[in-house]
Amino acid sequence: MKTIIHVNQHVIRKNTKTGESKPCLTVKTYKENRYAHEAIIRDESGNEIAKVVYSAHKPLSCGARCWIETKYDVETVVHDDPSSLVSME
């Protein structure tokens, strides 16, 4: 079953403006939507491999209020810059 973790930027902005701390994460499957401040990602054995954290009132020093944490290696992929594509008209 595929799960999508969506970060709702509108909730983050509203919380920042009003001082509230409503959950900004939506964990979506084909069956349901669950709302959360943290989404823990586990492997088949139940071990935590990563988590998405929303911290409304204690942002990171860079200002981020929502981020992903893991102790594992992370592979990065950079796609071509869409602005460099030439129109074929």
Among 20, 19, 27, 49, which Cα is nearest to 8's? 27
Question: pLDDT (tens digit, 0 to 9) for every residue of the chain, 89 residues total?
Answer: 899 999 999 999 999 999 999 999 999 999 999 999 999 999 999 999 999 999 999 999 999 999 999 999 999 998 887 666 555 55
* pTM as predicted: 0.81
DSSP per position, 5-73: EEE-HHHHHHHHHH------EEEE-SS-EEEESEEEEE-TTS-EEEEEEE-SSS--TT--SEEEE-SS-
Domains of the chain by residue range: 4-84
